[in-house]
Amino acid sequence: MTSPTSPLRMPGRLRAALVFVFLQALLNGILGIFAQLEIARWQDHGQDPAGVLYLVEFLSYIFAAGLLASGIAILVGYDWGRWAMLACEVLSAIGGLINLVSGSPQALLGLVLAGLVVTTLFQEQVKAWFEAKAAQRRAGPAPQPGTTI
């Protein structure tokens, strides 16, 4: 027999998806650092860096911050984090499709991960967890034993 899990316990698939999201945030941050180093290298050699490097740097940091913020919001149980993460993942998937069409087959991995995260965010068990967390916040903290109301 399986015992029902507590509605306040984060579903396992959501935990796994968050691991992928935090990995994405880390990789985006690293990509931003590499772009920043490449810009500095160009400038050290007296060259004007390509404008696309600035765009890559900016977008990498924005996506890293967005994924990190939405991941933390989800860890705490705020539903708005789910929607922010959805926006980041959809934009990431669009970028992955562009990369795939332009001949970069490794973009397929990013598309698969984005698909897994997005489908996880809309599972019934995950939605129920967010609703339970919201109900818990509305109810307020439970009184501590030995205190009077």
pLDDT tens for the chain, 149 residues long, are 444 556 678 999 999 999 999 999 999 999 999 999 999 999 898 888 888 889 989 999 999 999 999 999 999 999 999 999 999 999 988 988 988 898 888 888 888 989 999 999 999 999 999 999 999 888 876 666 666 65
| Euclidean distance between CA atoms 105 and 88, whole angstroms | 21
The pLDDT score that the predictor gives to residue 3 is 46
| Euclidean distance between CA atoms 114 and 138, whole angstroms | 32
Backbone angles phi, psi at 129, to 5 degrees: -65, -45
Are the C-beta atoms of residues 73 and 67 closer than 8 Å to each other?
A: no
The pLDDT score that the predictor gives to residue 95 is 85
The pLDDT score that the predictor gives to residue 146 is 65
The pLDDT score that the predictor gives to residue 7 is 63
Dihedral (CA of 26, 100, 17, 58) sign: positive
The pLDDT score that the predictor gives to residue 1 is 45
